[in-house]
């Protein structure tokens, strides 16, 4: 059973999240020494500082909201990043409190680094919204947040955390890929594409930690792209 199916098998919400993306115009908007080694290698190539983690967006400038649709996408994207930032912060707190059992240093580094990546992404998307005269997003999607909170309450160890994190990374990367054709600003397209790639890198590391092949698909799917409720 795949990691994401393990986390979401009882979730009616993620049956909707996984709806086939046939019309994306509706998108308006250590577990072991080897795992520790790959985490160290991956995390060591980027700064753990949230400000320095702007490299996660490929150094792309904050997009200019040349189309109202781009601002709508930015709102949804920012809400997903709020959820990711909050979840990684909660994971770090749980690890520090000993709620996850023994946590290898490399896993702690991964949590801190990836949380910084998502904070940098959130800052970029909020920059799009503020440039359009819209308020910054500070809340996650209510429906998805409820699902994640329920799943997080069941996390008792590092593998459980990795499964939850993998779900988040796949939702984010699938959403960015699905959003691409709806965007009109070149900078917004570049930002979404750059973030999608980094989220896929995060997912590859998590697959490896869970004992699965890091790149299971030749082409990325959009099965778990998040579509806000109508």
Instruction: Please list, in sequence order, all residues whose beta carbon lies within 8 angstroms of the beta carbon of residue 66, skipping any fewer than 6 positions away.
Output: 184, 185
The average confidence (pLDDT) of the chain is 79
- Enter the pTM of the model: 0.74
To the nearest 10°, report the CA torsion of 173, 178, 180, 182: -150
Residue 98 backbone dihedrals phi, psi, to 5 degrees? 80, 10
Is the Cβ–Cβ distance between 40 and 34 less than 8 Å? Answer: no
CATH topology of domain 3-209: Ferritin (1.20.1260)
- Percent of the chain's residues with pLDDT above 90: 65
CA 88, 15, 114: angle at the middle one, nearest 5?
A: 15
Is the Cβ–Cβ distance between 98 and 36 less than 8 Å? Answer: no
Place of tokens 């490299």: 55
The residue ranges of every structural domain in the chain are 3-209
Residue 168 clears pLDDT 90, i.e. is over it: yes
Residue 143 clears pLDDT 60, i.e. is over it: yes
Specify the pLDDT at position 132.
86
Q: Which helix (H) or strand (E) holds 79?
A: helix 68-96
The tokens describing 160, both together, are: 């459980």
Is the Cβ–Cβ distance between 195 and 228 less than 8 Å? Answer: no
When pLDDT is cut at 50, 70 and 90, the band that residue 139 belongs to is very high
DSSP 37-58: HHHHHHHTTS-S-TTGGGGGGT
Q: What are 53-75's pLDDT values in tens digits?
A: 344 444 555 555 455 679 889 99
């Amino acid at each position: 059973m795949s990691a994401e199916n393990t986390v979401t098998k009882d979730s009616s919400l993620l049956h909707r999240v996984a709806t086939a993306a046939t019309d994306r115009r509706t998108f308006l908007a250590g577990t072991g020494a080897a795992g520790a080694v790959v985490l160290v290698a991956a995390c060591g190539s980027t700064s753990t500082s949230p400000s320095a983690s702007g490299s996660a967006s490929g150094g792309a400038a904050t997009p200019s909201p040349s189309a109202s649709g781009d601002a709508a996408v930015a709102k949804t994207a920012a809400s997903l990043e709020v959820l990711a930032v909050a979840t990684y912060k909660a994971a770090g707190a749980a690890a520090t409190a000993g709620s996850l059992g023994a946590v290898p240093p490399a896993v702690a580094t991964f949590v801190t680094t990836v949380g910084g990546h998502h904070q940098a992404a959130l800052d970029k998307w909020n920059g799009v919204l503020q440039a359009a005269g819209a308020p910054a997003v500070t809340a996650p999607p209510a429906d998805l947040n409820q699902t994640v909170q329920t799943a997080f309450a069941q996390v008792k160890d590092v593998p459980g955390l990795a499964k939850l994190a993998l779900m988040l990374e796949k939702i984010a990367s699938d959403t960015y890929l699905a959003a691409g054709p709806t965007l009109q600003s070149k900078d917004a397209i570049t930002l979404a594409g750059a973030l999608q790639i980094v989220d896929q890198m995060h997912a590859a590391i998590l697959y490896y930690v869970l004992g699965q092949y890091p790149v299971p698909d030749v082409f990325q799917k959009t099965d778990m792209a998040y579509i806000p409720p109508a």
